[in-house]
Amino acid sequence: MTSSRLEAFSDGVLAIIITVMVLGLAEPAGTGWADLVRSSGLGLLTYLLSFVYIGIYWNNHHHLFQLHPPVRGRVLWANLHLLFWLSLFPFTTGWLTESRVALVPTVVYGLNLLAAALAYYLLEIAITRMPGGERLRAALGRDMKGLLSPVLYLLGIGLAFVVPWLGLVPFVAVALMWLVPDRRVERFLDAHPDTSADATDDE
């Protein structure tokens, strides 16, 4: 079995998460610019941040399955585990906004980022342990950004205890860092064009 249905399902879930967050945007109470900024300004910024994060996960997810690893039970559940944490973004983003970036909601947002990063890492392990997964491991190489991200999330959680707003700085920094897309798999495929076929073909 190939990974196409798993990708389609994940795409669906990610597409809904990214879109459903906009439903949480409070409509301005009045009809002026000041009302827009006061009621929805912060909400638009946190929506943008979470939108970028979901975009990053979609982007990387897509790279992870680009080599079409065989998909079995363990990978299916590791994938659902990742989707579970990502599906909480509308909730944690909403609370962060509603609280005007209070301490606990900022920490909870950081924990959500941390849990999603961990789940992604577990999914990566589950895939690379499948037969044929060595190719993906080789393609990924040393994942500096993947190692740095949780450290920065922890830093953000720590900074939130000083000033809650400060905790968002590392969260934004990680997002910017990942906006530069992950070229590793693409580079590997360019260098090893013969391995781009289905994993089952050449193992």
Binding site for a second copy (CB under 8 A): 1, 5, 7-9, 11-20, 22-23, 25, 27-28, 31-33, 35-36, 40, 48, 51, 55, 58-59, 62, 66, 72-74, 76-77, 80, 83-84, 87-88, 90-91, 94-95, 98-99, 102-105, 108, 179-183, 186, 189
Minimum distance, C-beta of residue 192 to a second copy, in the bound complex (Å): 14
Minimum distance, C-beta of residue 137 to a second copy, in the bound complex (Å): 20
59 vs 169, which CB is nearer to a second copy? Answer: 59
Cβ proximity of 107 and 144 under 8 Å:
no
Q: Cα(166)–Cα(155) distance, rounded to whole angstroms?
A: 10
55 vs 150, which CB is nearer to a second copy? Answer: 55
Minimum distance, C-beta of residue 63 to a second copy, in the bound complex (Å): 9
Minimum distance, C-beta of residue 115 to a second copy, in the bound complex (Å): 12
Cβ proximity of 130 and 6 under 8 Å:
no
Cβ proximity of 172 and 108 under 8 Å:
no
Number of Cβ atoms within 10 Å of the Cβ of 35 = 14
Q: Is 180 exposed, middle or buried, given 0-12, 13-18 or 19+ CB atoms closer than 10 A? A: exposed
125 vs 131, which CB is nearer to a second copy? Answer: 131
Residue entry with tokens 């301490």:
103
